[in-house]
Amino acid sequence: MNYTTLIPVMRRLALEAGDKIMEIYNSDDFDVKLKLDDSPVTVADEAADEIISDGLRAAFPDAMLVTEEQADSHMAQGDTFLIVDPLDGTKEFINRRGDFTVNIAYVENGMPLRGVVYAPAKERMFYTRPEGQSVEETGPFDKVAPGDVTPIQVSKPDNGALMVVASKSHRDQATDDYIGKYAVKDSKSAGSSLKFCLVATGEADLYPRLGRTMEWDTAAGHAVLLGAGGSVVRFDDHSLLTYGKAEFANPFFIAHAPGVELQKA
């Protein structure tokens, strides 16, 4: 994959999908349906998916593509592929809380090496540049020419006063019990893949996830965090979280800045 070609395409498609999502988000009403796993899906998920998947297939016809909203793509097998969650944080979208993102990533040999995370309601965009460094771009966003970008870097954590971020919609007692193993200065909640980005920018040191996620939920945020010097490991044995797993399902995991003294379960 030519990253110099890939990154502008992913960035443009994220912006186009974000525009469509915000058009629906700002409308008076929109339909909400339930998928077979009882998770919600809206017309915004479906419209954004069409924009992104059509654009990626046109630009990279030979690349394997996995996208949340197209069940037939979940049958693909391999460790190198494009992966999309067109609207991560659908519950945040439905409740008009703003913490939702467009996620597009490229996984190579099981690792998400390039990605873009765009939070249209919050006007925040994070992505990896072709050479691998992660940046945050500040708007207004032009689909052709990127605006001002700032390289981002994880924190140098103080293990006596850690900053922790956890899921807004899925935080539970098990998560709180695990966070309680650390000396925490402050804890915040966020939705969607923004949690990875908060670790990537140094706004948080640690993000534990003790709950079900799929690879399309995490790949783009994981790529942004890697490009900012961070890491994502399995919760059970602290080995690296990899991609291309059976049914694209993730185990529990911990995203963190190097230097955080990870605690066992």
CA 125 to chain centre: 11
Phi, psi of 221 (to 5 degrees): -65, -40
Q: Is 87 annotated to bind ligand?
A: yes
Phi, psi of 182 (to 5 degrees): -110, 160
Q: Is 89 annotated to bind ligand?
A: yes
Q: Is 31 annotated to bind ligand?
A: no
Contacts by 71-78, CB closer than 8 A, 24 or more apart: 74/247, 74/248, 77/244, 78/244
Q: Is 218 annotated to bind ligand?
A: no
How buried is 236 (Cβ within 10 angstroms: 0-12 exposed, 13-18 middle, 19+ buried)?
exposed
Q: Which of 91, 107, 88, 97 is nearest to 197 (CA)?
A: 88
Q: Which of 139, 200, 213 is nearest to 169 (CA)?
A: 213
Length of the chain: 265
Q: Is 62 annotated to bind ligand?
A: no
Q: Which of 182, 245, 184 is nearest to 216 (CA)?
A: 245
CA distances from 174 to 124, 138, 192, 210 (A): 30, 36, 19, 7
Q: Is 99 annotated to bind ligand?
A: no
For residues 213 and 233, give the distance between their C-alpha atoms in angstroms, rounded to a whole number: 14
Q: Is 67 annotated to bind ligand?
A: no
For the beta carbon of residue 107, count every other beta carbon within 10 angstroms: 25
List, as residue ranges, the binding site for substrate.
Answer: 68, 87-90, 217
List, as residue ranges, the binding site.
Answer: 68, 85, 87-90, 217
List, as residue ranges, the binding site for Mg(2+).
Answer: 68, 85, 87-88, 217
